[in-house]
Amino acid sequence: MTDLLLGRVLSFTADPFTAGPEAARLDEAVVIAEGRIVATGTAEALRRAHPQARVTDYGGRLISAGFIDAHVHYPQTAIIASWGKRLIDWLNTYTFPEEMRFADPAYAATIAARYLDLTRAQGTTSVCSYATIHPASVDALMAAAQARGQRIWTGKTCMDRNAPEGLRDTAQSAHDDSAALLAKWHGVDRLSYVITPRFSPTSTPEQLEALGALWAANPSCLMQTHLSEQTDEIAWVKGLFPQARDYLDTYEQFGLLGRGGLYGHAIHLEPREKDRLREVDASLIHCPTSNTFIGSGLFDMGGLKAAGQRIGLATDTGGGSSFSMLRTMAAAYEVGQLRGRPLHPAELWWLATLGSAQSLHADHLIGNIAPGMEADLVVIDLASTPAIAQASARAETLWEALFPTIMMGDDRAIHAVWIAGQPAG
């Protein structure tokens, strides 16, 4: 079946951080078939070229690439919005007790399905998620995403110290379990495995070395971890790795720094760390709702983008306080204001779509509406509430119309979601 969708079709031809808002273009229609984008253009031309297509008219609504959440912890779904802890206390009080429950495959399957349903309702079509140390937690999310036709990344979280009994593996089992899961899932349908040391404080040097060796043997995989989220965390790392030049060096010396590395948070970076991350073309993942909710600090989006860093955007569920990428964009705007560099609506939307796709090295597949791309789409109602409607009605440009939805929108703004060329939900 060929589908012709009519509406205001938003795509990007360049990075708006360098090219400005003109990096975006609007079309009147998009054609999709067999799970992919076939064409964009005027409604008249595409109706003529595809007379047999099934037509869905979304009127004045915005049709965009689906949102891509580049750093989440799906096992923390049930503890989102828990009160009042900083990072290390958050892990001990909320995260670790909840992750213990994922030893039960049935519980893992329940939360995986709940998480994907919640995020799809918010317009998110792809995620890159941490699992727990339990292989069943990877199987659960992979199976749930496979059933929905989603493109996702996930991996077994590896920890062999500074975690409770029952949430620790070993250097050898972390390597072997990860290798087995990689062989089982990586490249199957739209699924990808990502090698996942939680962060250096919860891995011994031996485990980090084993996972570095696994990544070297499987360079098509991404590797995800955390970096420089809070100042007390950085002090902890210095105590655990006294010979390291800085936090990043605790990864670099074990083969865990490189292109395809995803470094969540990256707030309090030293000059050497910034230089090395840029040199290897690593990805930094900005998690603004988490950074403000847990009190971590203010990410330097303006400075890091100007320096040429590769950056994605993420909710960081459940340290992040929302499943919504709209709310995440709003928080990124607010953080930018506090840093003295407010982000333009085009920059925010790009971060939540093509920017996150680039951070995951998947921008040839998802994150934009262009011929050949996979047809993951979200349809946005730019008048979803009375407050948003009265603001957008005054707009003279697309960005003026879209910005109220970025700042005040929620799941009511998500009119429709398409995954792999099929209506979802």
Please name each of the domains of the chain with its CATH number. 2-65+367-423 (2.30.40.10), 67-359 (3.20.20.140)
Task: Find the distance separating the first CA and the last CA of the chain, reported in whole Å.
Answer: 19
Integer angstrom CA distances of residue 298 from 197, 243, 305: 24, 28, 14
Residue pair 296/87 in contact by the 8 Å Cβ criterion: yes
Burial letters 301-323, b for 16+ CB under 10 A, else e: bbebbeeebbbbbbbbbbbbbbb
Residue pair 388/415 in contact by the 8 Å Cβ criterion: no
Output the pLDDT for position 171: 98
Output the pLDDT for position 320: 86
Burial class (CB within 10 angstroms; exposed 0-12, middle 13-18, buried 19+) of 44 = exposed
Integer angstrom CA distances of residue 299 from 157, 336, 382, 396: 24, 8, 28, 31
Residue pair 149/417 in contact by the 8 Å Cβ criterion: no
Find all residues with CB under 8 Å of 327, minimum gap 6, and list them: 289, 315, 321, 410
Output the pLDDT for position 217: 98
CA–CA gap between residue 295 and residue 392 (Å, rounded): 32
Output the pLDDT for position 92: 81
Output the pLDDT for position 294: 87
Torsion sign across C-alpha atoms 256, 260, 263, 266: positive
Output the pLDDT for position 125: 98
Per-10-residue mean pLDDT, the chain, length 425? 97 97 97 98 98 97 98 95 77 88 97 98 98 98 98 98 95 98 98 98 98 98 98 96 98 98 98 98 97 94 98 94 97 98 98 98 98 98 98 95 98 98 92
Find all residues with CB under 8 Å of 110, minimum gap 6, and list them: none
55: which strand partners? 4
Output the pLDDT for position 224: 98
CA–CA gap between residue 74 and residue 112 (Å, rounded): 7
Apex CA 129: angle with CA 128 and CA 132, to 5°? 160
Cα–chain center distance at 134 = 22
Q: Which residue has the tokens 């039960």?
A: 104
